[in-house]
Amino acid sequence: MITPKFRPRLRTDEIILHDLHSCGPIAHVEARLKVDGRKLGLLFPGYHFVVLLDGNFLQMRPLDAVGNHTQGYNQRSIGIALEGGRRVVTGEDGEERLVPADNFTGLQRAKVKWIIDEVITPVYGKLPISGHSECGRHAWQLGYPCPALDMDKFRESISQLP
């Protein structure tokens, strides 16, 4: 088993939210993220946290480690990914395609708020939350949002949770 040695992040001034581009629950999500990461040349997934549709979460990296989730932002941010973000549609040509979809659950939103309030804020203070697509050159780079939701509404919705 590989035990990664992560570089410490020297400053932390933002949380960046992502989605996993999935239609539903991913079987063996941690193993899948490791395999997908290796295809990109990573030894370990780049997100700090992955929040599953059922509200459970995985911590993929130490909180103070440099991430590998948003090029140009990894040295100063914490990456949180939400399972979901896509749905299957059948085109006029009969081909199935994945399209962006806000299929995230209330349990996920509540868990993101909990991670921010109980894990991140006590260490780093209150940080702004950005969607991956809101970050510089990543803005709509693929032609669709990541995560597949309205970030203003997301920020508002989690601010209203207890």
CATH number at residue 58: 3.40.80.10
Q: Which two tokens stand for residue 57?
A: 């979460």
pLDDT recorded at residue 100: 93
* Whether 85 contacts 146, CB under 8 Å: yes
Residue 28 identity: H
Residue 50: inside a domain: yes
CA dist 29 to 25, 76, 143, Å?
8, 26, 25
pTM for the predicted model, two decimal places:
0.91
pLDDT (tens digit, 9 = 90+) per residue, 28-57?
888 888 877 777 777 778 999 999 999 999
Residue 27: inside a domain: yes
Domain span at residue 21 reads 14-159
Residue 37: inside a domain: yes
pLDDT (tens digit, 9 = 90+) per residue, 83-137?
999 999 999 999 999 899 999 999 999 999 999 999 999 999 999 999 999 987 6
Residue 91: inside a domain: yes
Does residue 143 carry a pLDDT above 80?
no
* Whether 9 contacts 66, CB under 8 Å: yes
Total domains in the chain come to: 1
Does residue 145 carry a pLDDT above 90?
no
CA dist 161 to 110, 113, 115, 158, Å?
7, 8, 13, 5
Q: What is the rounded (10 degree) CA torsion for 43, 142, 151, 132?
A: 30
